[in-house]
Amino acid sequence: MRRRLSIAIALALAGATGVASAQQAAEPFAESVLQVTINGEHLPGALLVRRDADGTLLVKASDLKALRLKTPTTGAMLVNGQRYYRIGKEVGATVTFDDTTQSVDLNLPAQAFVATKTRLASADAPSKVQAQLGAFVNYDVSAERSSGRTGAGGFVEFGLFGAKGVLTATAVARGDSKNANATRLDTAWTRDFPDRMVTLRVGDSISSGGSWGRSLRFGGLQYGTNFSTQPTLITTPLLSASGDAVVPSTVDVFINGQPVSSEQVQPGPFEISGIPAVNGAGQMQVIVTDALGRQQVVSQPYYAGTSLLRKGLGEYSVEAGAVRRNYTNRSNDYGDAVGSATYRRGMSDSLTAGAHAEA
């Protein structure tokens, strides 16, 4: 009787142990420390993850950044007060667990990754140097003799510069054996303000006609944008190259067959902006090469014009004075009063809007 009782107790204990083991094996949200491989790239360290009841991989929200994954729009859940996301069919992932090596292999589409954005570095702006007092003179003279008659002419420019700007004056002289004369051309004081990319000019100048107006010579005051005060500034829209990389790749960009950029990108969408373009029509070619040497080649035609301003960049000019008449024939012939204003702004990389008024 005692033997039967002991056998029955042993069987009951064995049955209880089997039930506990089965419950533990099917326990949802079980933690695991696994080595992770994403699209063939091994992560340097192990990751603490969980598995859902159906075996789907659960990743903590705080670990998505380390995996360079976008935050999924679905599949969020709370486990012990922490937010997890399901990484499975919801995000187009193929997940393979290997319990013998304590690892998990993930294959995800490029759209599941955070985009890699790169902007090509522009040249450093030159430092501003305080101008010292100085002067210069430019000249061009010529003479000829034909049929017993001698003629001569010359152009001369004087300049005086310092911390307050540049004062210039130009004149032309011509004569022969019978008569000679000299005519003043332009006299003006100019001061640049590189920090604001504007220039103030007082004296003789040429007005801005805008996109449809007519420029004319006048004497007076002119104030407006002068991009040449920042030589490294690129005013026209720049090109950009974008695409998708499933694995770590190298992206090479060519403009009209000339290499302009080579960037390393991580899996996922990528965008390389700030690519300089040659004015006029051209061809941009993007070559994506992965670690196995496989290449994707994309060619795209483009058009870049000097009259276009890049998005957000504006320029303006305001002039007032008197119309210059008989230029190169008379030194001080001024007529009616004139005033004009011009403004242009890049609304987008493909649209530049402008306004012009004159009286």
* Sheet-wide strand order for 180-193: 134-146, 149-162, 165-176, 180-193, 198-206, 217-225, 314-324, 334-348, 351-358
Q: Does 5 have pLDDT greater than 60? A: no
For 334, the token pair is 């001024």
* Band of residue 125 on the pLDDT scale cut at 50, 70, 90: low
Query: Of 291 and 14, which is predicted with more confidence?
Result: 291
- Averaged pLDDT for residues 117-138: 80
- Averaged pLDDT for residues 170-175: 89
CA 224 to CA 278: how far, in whole Å?
A: 27
Contact 223, 327 (CB under 8 A): no
- Averaged pLDDT for residues 35-44: 85
**Residue (of 225, 230, 194) closest to 317 by Cα position:** 225
CA 74 to CA 68: how far, in whole Å?
A: 17
For 141, the token pair is 């003279």
* Band of residue 328 on the pLDDT scale cut at 50, 70, 90: confident
Q: What is the pLDDT of residue 120?
A: 77
- By DSSP bridging, strand 280-290 and strand 295-304 are antiparallel
- Averaged pLDDT for residues 234-256: 87
Q: What is the pLDDT of residue 28?
A: 66
Q: What is the pLDDT of residue 212?
A: 76
Summary mean pLDDT of the chain: 83
* Band of residue 337 on the pLDDT scale cut at 50, 70, 90: very high
Residue partners of 324: CB distance under 8 A and separation at least 6: 204, 216, 217, 218, 219, 333, 334, 335
User: For residue 209, how many C-alpha atoms fall within 13 Å in the half-sphere facing its CB?
Assistant: 9
- Averaged pLDDT for residues 312-322: 91
Q: What is the pLDDT of residue 20?
A: 35
**Residue (of 251, 240, 242) closest to 295 by Cα position:** 251
Q: Does 24 have pLDDT greater than 80? A: no
- Averaged pLDDT for residues 278-291: 86
Q: What is the pLDDT of residue 178?
A: 78
* Band of residue 4 on the pLDDT scale cut at 50, 70, 90: very low
For 288, the token pair is 């994506």
Query: Of 342 and 278, which is predicted with more confidence?
Result: 342
User: For residue 56, how many C-alpha atoms fall within 13 Å in the half-sphere facing its CB?
Assistant: 18
The pLDDT tens digits for 204-235 are 999 888 777 788 899 999 999 998 888 888 88
The pLDDT tens digits for 80-124 are 888 888 888 888 888 888 888 888 888 888 888 888 888 877 666
- Name the one residue in this structure whose structure tokens are 């210039």: 168
For 178, the token pair is 């019978």
* Band of residue 168 on the pLDDT scale cut at 50, 70, 90: very high
- Name the one residue in this structure whose structure tokens are 């995800």: 108
E strand segments, 226-324: 239-245, 249-255, 258-265, 268-275, 280-290, 295-304, 314-324
* Band of residue 51 on the pLDDT scale cut at 50, 70, 90: confident
**Does the pTM of the predicted model rise above 0.95?**
no
* Band of residue 27 on the pLDDT scale cut at 50, 70, 90: low
Helix/strand/coil for 38: strand
Query: Of 246 and 199, which is predicted with more confidence?
Result: 199
Query: Of 306 and 95, which is predicted with more confidence?
Result: 95
Q: Does 11 have pLDDT greater than 80? A: no
